[in-house]
Amino acid sequence: MATHSELRDFWERRLEGDWTESGVGYRALGRPFNTWMYRVREEVFLREVRGLRPRSADVLDVGSGTGFYVRLWDELGASRITGSDMTEAAVDRLRARFPEHRFARQDASDLDAFEDDSFDAVSCMDMLFHITDDERYTAAVREFARVLRPGGLLVVSENCLRRPEQRGEHQVNRTLEWISGTADKAGFDIVRRVPMLVLMNAQVDAPKPWRKAWGGVLRAATVTAPTGWLAGAALYPLERRLVRGRKESPTTELVALRLREQG
């Protein structure tokens, strides 16, 4: 498993070379397919967060990457948005793309640029499963609780496995039990958990034969940019129905949590 500094250098190089959806997404499937995939992510995020009616005057987006979710907070009407990323490559470009917002180079597990009780909502999307060290993951969740005001909203995306966890060099897929237990210890209650994707991503919580078979289909379908675009276009309408119709997903889910009131 890579060390924290090795992971930081990995993401620095990756975002320096590809500051697009494929750079922050499922790179093996190519940019055209990732563009379709992120359309589904956008619809789910806007629908769910709007429905939760966050007190979103002050928002912190952790692991901002290309600023995809910064733009969505803008669309939701947040009046003040702060972003952070562990890489210089992302922060420099985010400041140029969104000059009206503040960005800081910060590690999720040590948000020392921000004071206690500073934000009404925090988002950390498509990033937590890339924290491969459990202690740093736990520290990140505690930091989210520290910078949120009581009753504040935390929105994350995670692979909440019912099967045993899966550990790789740059990604750890943890169990729902472990994730919910870590959140509970930090003072959070899960208020919503819904599929963010179903078929348009790695089937990490599916039986191994299906996981391997579907992964092979996706890689074959996206071997070139034109076929990747066609595969995304074909799956997109089905995926939109699936994320609305299912309660759980074999891949990424959106999880919304509230920080418990003190006292």
pLDDT digits (tens, 9 = 90+) for 212-261: 999 999 999 998 999 999 999 999 999 999 999 999 999 999 999 999 98
Q: What is the pLDDT of residue 22?
A: 46
Please state the rounded mean pLDDT for residues 126-155. Answer: 96
Q: What is the pLDDT of residue 113?
A: 95
Q: What is the pLDDT of residue 170?
A: 85
Q: How far is CA 221 from CA 32, 230, 233, in A?
A: 11, 8, 12
Please state the rounded mean pLDDT for residues 121-125. Answer: 96
Q: What is the pLDDT of residue 19?
A: 53
Number of CB atoms found within 10 A of residue 263's CB: 4
The structure's pTM equals: 0.90
pLDDT tens digit sequence for 47-60: 999 999 776 689 99
Distance of alpha carbon 257 from alpha carbon 216, whole angstroms: 34
Q: Which of 144, 120, 118 is nearest to 131 (CA)?
A: 144
Q: What is the pLDDT of residue 190?
A: 97
* Locus of tokens 């985010």: 94
pLDDT tens digit sequence for 99-119: 999 999 999 999 999 999 999
Q: What is the pLDDT of residue 261?
A: 87
Name all domains of the chain by residue range, CATH numbers in brackets: 4-259 (3.40.50.150)
Q: What is the pLDDT of residue 12?
A: 53
Which residues 6+ apart lie within 8 Å of 147 measured at CB?
60, 111, 114, 115, 116, 117, 118, 119, 122
CA atoms within 13 A on the CB side of 223: 4
pLDDT tens digit sequence for 6-32: 555 554 565 555 555 544 556 678 889
Q: What average pLDDT does the structure give for the chain?
A: 90
Number of CB atoms found within 10 A of residue 189's CB: 12
- Both tokens of 30, joined, read 């190519």
Q: How far is CA 237 from CA 157, 218, 244, 256, in A?
A: 21, 16, 11, 25
Q: What is the pLDDT of residue 54?
A: 72
Q: Which of 166, 130, 109, 106 is nearest to 10 (CA)?
A: 130
